[in-house]
Amino acid sequence: MAGGGGGCVTLRGAQIRDLLDAKHNVLFDCDGVVWNGETAVTGAPEVVSLLKQRGKRVFFVTNNCTRPRENYVQKFSRLGFADVAEEEIFSSAYCSAAYLRDVARLQGKVYVIGCGGVMKELRDAGVPVAEEGDAEPGASIYTCPLDPDVKAVLVGYDENFTFMKLAKACCYLQSSECLFLATDPDPWHPLRGGRVTPGSGSLTAALETASSRKATVIGKPSRFMFDCISSQFGLDPARSLMIGDRLETDVLFGSNCGLATVLTLTGVSTLQEALAFRDSQEPQQKHCAPDYVVESVADILQALEE
Amino acid sequence: MAASKCTQLTAALSRQLLDSVDCVLFDCDGVIWRGDQAISGAPEVISSLKKNGKRVFFVTNNSTKTRQMYADKLGKLGFDATADEVFGTAYCSAVYLKNVCKLDGKVYLIGSNAMRQELEDVGIRPVGVGPDPVSGVQKDWANVPLDKQVQAVLVGFDEHFSYMKLNRALQYLCNPDCQFVGTNTDTRLPLEGGKAVPGTGCLLRAVETAAQRQAQVVGKPSNFMFECVASQFGLDPERCLMVGDRLDTDIMLGSNCGLKTLLTLTGVSTVAEAQANQKSQCPHQQKMVPDYYINSIADILPALQT
């Protein structure tokens, strides 16, 4: 059974084995699934290795746009995951750059509200970025120059977000020909100890309100990241599995792409929340209910080793 | 209340309307001034109304000025007005926090010095005004020192809006007992010159999205703006006229509070929009139909001077 309103069946042992036998591709979210902050989820590195040994293809699909892919490679290595290759990692920063280059085929520059990770991916993809320019003291929205080559605005998590950036982006978006993209919709990101920090979604909301336009969102739950992986690796949705910790992003993403979905309980969402979505009358909410639930990805390890 | 609505205000109807009210409330931007220029004839209208024994008040969603600063601007533009006739959201938010929220502590303020001033004048201590650039790394942000005396977050227009301010507001709002108030939801600042400057509504949406909470909004069309004036001056709604240029704020406020409403065409909304609302079946849109409309408030001058 795949996609579109799951039954939240808790999986153990042989059931996990049976599910995996039917799937060739396993897509993992990162935060709250394979690691939490700088700590790997116990058993996660072994699970990834074992899946690959059993001939499965493994991909990592993350809305986190703060790092370029090569940093993720280093993080995986640091946390004890053997041989995770750059090509297996799909972040919203990487996919946003791919979208601008391959789907939008951008002719012109992109004005970016974002951090180093996004900038690097855009540069690596050969997408020209409008220079921010040094903020002169006393520069105001009325006097700051606008770059006539800007044909797209990309907004994502930006710790240096300011009112001026919001105003400039809004000016660019006055032209209906200017594309409006957001890396991901997450309103907040979890930090250690149950704390949170504002996410891309909150900055996107400000810009949508200012411009009266809706952004095209690259990250989960939008399909694009799956299409991006598929264009490079040819994925059959019926033979693919999505494992995540956030119902409104990971599970809905899996549902939107026709994948079987597994919720792991080592991150943001709870079993209670999953059941509430399952029992909801609203179709959109039902799509956030996972097919299966596991306590942790380590449960897969037990299933594979038995 | 007029049986038929959205009627053009002729000279004869003007006299009839003016005789039926004791008090006239004016929005400012787009009604009596545009930017730093008085609308031709507006100062004379205000003076004439007062000579005719009408009380006059100014009701604006703009949070960047104190009552005294508004009085100064009114004076400079030739209007006969005093500070206690002005009800801007900087003042009204302070009153709201004091009297409605019954705030007994500090407020974390995303806003202007004018807002800080109005809060201090009612005995509430704000924290957070001014520039607040990001420092440290991400894991520090969830642990920014929080002032334990802060019992509310207030969001108004703030040119120093930044990720760090958004983050601090989020940290305070993670406590469900912390109250959450916004001055207004206008998406743009009203301005001449074509450059679209994002308004308070954008900043408020960013905070609401990150915190996944809805703010209590003080400004039009919330009834509070009228109640604030009415409670201080003992007004009878049926003997009040609201004059504004925006259907979704000024006219909606008038409808909700049982005032007579006059749309002036020197600002944002058009007759066509008003008529479209009138034809619609939607109760919400029906509230955005003025009793009368006029090209400019200067057009009622003849009726006042006979």
> Which domains are assigned to chain B?
7-61+221-304 (3.40.50.1000), 92-217 (3.40.50.1000)
Which of A158, A195, A211 is the closest to B163 by Cβ?
A: A158
Given a cut of 70, whether residue B196 has pLDDT beyond it is no
Which of B138, B174, B209 is the closest to A205 by Cβ?
A: B209
Which of A159, A207, A209 is the closest to B134 by Cβ?
A: A159
**Cα B15–chain centre separation:** 28
Q: Note the pLDDT tens digit of each residue in B77-108.
A: 999 999 999 999 999 999 999 999 999 999 99
Residue A2 has a pLDDT of 46
Show residues of chain B in contact with A159, CB under 8 Å: 134, 138, 141, 163-164
* E-assigned strand segments in A114-201: 150-155, 179-182, 188-190, 196-198
Given a cut of 60, whether residue A71 has pLDDT beyond it is yes
Instruction: Please work out, in degrees rounded to the nearest 5, the angle formed at the alpha carbon of residue A165 by the alpha carbons of A159 and A169.
Output: 125
Cross-chain residue pair B170–A188, CB shorter than 8 Å: yes
Q: Is B287 known to sit in a ligand binding site?
A: no
C-alpha A58/C-alpha B151 separation (Å) is: 48
Given a cut of 80, whether residue A89 has pLDDT beyond it is yes
Residue B134 has a pLDDT of 75
Q: Which residues contact A60 (CB under 8 A, 6 or more apart)?
A: A27, A28, A29, A30, A34, A72, A84, A88, A89, A90
Helix (H, G, I), strand (E, B) or coil at A294: strand
Q: Note the pLDDT tens digit of each residue in A131-170.
A: 876 555 566 766 778 899 999 999 999 999 999 999 999 9
**What's the DSSP call for residue A101?**
I
List, as own/partner pairs, every contact residues A125-132 make where C-beta atoms lie below 8 angstroms and the sequence separation is at least 24, other chains included.
Answer: A125/A97, A125/A98, A125/A100, A125/A101, A126/A101, A127/A97, A127/A100, A127/A101
Asked whether the beta carbons of A129 and A223 are under 8 A apart, the reply is no
Given a cut of 60, whether residue A3 has pLDDT beyond it is no
Q: Which residues contact A235 (CB under 8 A, 6 or more apart)?
A: A25, A226, A229
Given a cut of 90, whether residue B2 has pLDDT beyond it is no
Given a cut of 60, whether residue B258 has pLDDT beyond it is yes
**Chain B residues touching chain A at CB-CB below 8 Å:** 133-134, 138-139, 141-143, 158-164, 166-167, 170-171, 174, 187-188, 193, 195-199, 201-203, 205-212
Q: Which residues contact A109 (CB under 8 A, 6 or more apart)?
A: A128, A129, A130, A147, A149, A150, A151, A152
**Cα A250–chain centre separation:** 8
Cross-chain residue pair A198–B205, CB shorter than 8 Å: no
Cross-chain residue pair B142–A195, CB shorter than 8 Å: yes
Given a cut of 70, whether residue B130 has pLDDT beyond it is yes
Q: What is the mean pLDDT of residues A98-121?
A: 96
Q: Note the pLDDT tens digit of each residue in A189-205.
A: 888 777 899 999 999 99
Domains of chain A with bracketed CATH: 9-63+221-305 (3.40.50.1000), 106-133+143-216 (3.40.50.1000)
C-alpha B25/C-alpha B173 separation (Å) is: 35
Catalytic residue among A21, A31, A147, A184: A31
> How does strand B33-34 pair with strand B37-38?
antiparallel
Cross-chain residue pair A197–B170, CB shorter than 8 Å: yes
Residue B132 has a pLDDT of 87
C-alpha A252/C-alpha A288 separation (Å) is: 5
pLDDT band at B9 (very low <50, low <70, confident <90, very high): very high
Q: Note the pLDDT tens digit of each residue in A205-245.
A: 999 999 999 999 999 999 999 999 999 999 999 999 999 99
Q: How far is A238 from chain B (nearest CA, A)?
A: 34
Residue B260 has a pLDDT of 98
Which of A141, A195, A197 is the closest to B197 by Cβ?
A: A141
Number of helices and strands (H, E) in chain B?
13, 14
First-residue to last-residue Cα distance in chain B: 25
Cross-chain residue pair A159–B198, CB shorter than 8 Å: no
Given a cut of 60, whether residue B164 has pLDDT beyond it is yes
The interface pTM score, or ipTM, of the predicted complex is 0.91
Residue A143 has a pLDDT of 72
Amino acid at A90: F
Cross-chain residue pair A196–B160, CB shorter than 8 Å: no
- In Å, how far are A39, A253, A254, B33 from A224, measured between CA atoms? 29, 9, 12, 48
**The two three-digit tokens of residue B17, written as one number:** 């309307």
**Cα B129–chain centre separation:** 21
Helix (H, G, I), strand (E, B) or coil at A132: coil
Structure-model confidence comparison of residues B138 and A54, the more confident one: A54
Q: Quick count: other Cβ atoms within 10 Å of Cβ B233?
A: 12
Amino acid at B151: Q
Q: Is A29 a catalytic residue?
A: yes
Q: Is B248 a catalytic residue?
A: no
C-alpha B185/C-alpha A99 separation (Å) is: 33
Q: Note the pLDDT tens digit of each residue in B213-238.
A: 999 999 999 999 999 999 999 999 99
Residue A1 has a pLDDT of 41
Cross-chain residue pair B139–A188, CB shorter than 8 Å: no
Q: How far is A187 from chain B (nearest CA, A)?
A: 5
Most B-contacting residue of A153, A160, A208, A209 (CB-CB within 10 A), to test interface: A209
Q: What is the mean pLDDT of residues A120-126?
A: 97
Show residues of chain B in contact with A158, CB under 8 Å: 163
Catalytic residue among A18, A29, A149, A186: A29
Instruction: Please work out, in degrees rounded to the nearest 5, the angle formed at the alpha carbon of residue B222 by the alpha carbons of B220 and B227.
Output: 100
Q: Which residues contact B26 (CB under 8 A, 6 or more apart)?
A: B32, B46, B56, B57, B58, B59, B243, B244, B297
Given a cut of 70, whether residue B4 has pLDDT beyond it is no
Cross-chain residue pair B206–A142, CB shorter than 8 Å: no
Q: Which residues contact A175 (CB under 8 A, 6 or more apart)?
A: none
Q: What is the pTM of this model?
A: 0.93
